[in-house]
Structure 1
């Protein structure tokens, strides 16, 4: 998956916005204002940070040594950095979904109601 496919996949999800809160080089994807994915636009090779359940994060790092690493500049227990060209596109999509679902699962009742009211 390249960075454009990554961006398109993220933006197709319900309630997602993209922002540049850390400057022009870091693209952040949020669902209802909560971060679930980010990428450094100038970093090569292209890589993305995704939220991940801690036990799964460790297993992925072991299985994809060097391709999935502890989250760069993130909480290492809850975030992974994925080197896009080293990981199959279907796995990247699955990990985007997992990150998104983890964030949605933590919504407050009020935020969940707003989310569920979206088309």
Structure 2
């Protein structure tokens, strides 16, 4: 079953991530390059998502995947943790969110982090 610790551990296993608490003790905000890619609460995780993919995921699993709670609903999904979502599915969504945020960083930032090589 997917839980808070599993999601937190997987998010923080990504390169150059940082654990932050800008809103107090909860939720945990995980960032890469100073930009948020995951917002983790005890019972859910909000993840950045391509708008077309976000709609598709919500249609496939409407009980577990909803528009981002207190976030831009076009670009964020909130996923309820628990038995309605598979570990592989949540990992794919985390990977997608991380990749979107990394792609949004400047070339210089990605080079400094070693995520792309200088030519």
| TM-score with structure 1 setting the length | 0.91
Question: 1:7-39: CA deviations, max 9, x gaps?
Answer: 110111100000000111110000111100012
Q: Report the counterpart of residue 103 of structure 1 in structure 2.
A: 101
Which blocks of at least 5 consecutive residues in structure 1 are unaligned?
none
> Structure 1, residues 20-76: CA drift from partner, whole Å, max 9, x if none?
0011111000011110001224xxxx1100000000000000110121000000000
Listed as ranges, the matches of 1:17-56 within 5 Å are 17-41=18-42, 46-56=43-53
Residue of structure 1 equivalent to 2:17: 16
Superposed, which structure 2 residues align to 1:72-83 within 5 Å? 72-83=69-80
Give the Cα–Cα distance (whole angstroms) in 1 for the partners of residues 27 and 4 of structure 2: 12
Runs of 4+ in structure 1 off by over 2 angstroms are: none
Structure 1 contact 49–82 (Cα < 8 Å) conserved: yes
Question: The residue matched to 2:28 in structure 1 has which SS?
Answer: strand
Q: Give the aligned CA root-mean-square deviation in angstroms.
A: 1.0
Shift of 1:90: 0.6
In the superposition, the TM-score normalised over structure 2's length comes to: 0.91
1:57 counterpart = 2:54: yes
- Structure 2 residues without counterparts, runs of 5 or longer: none
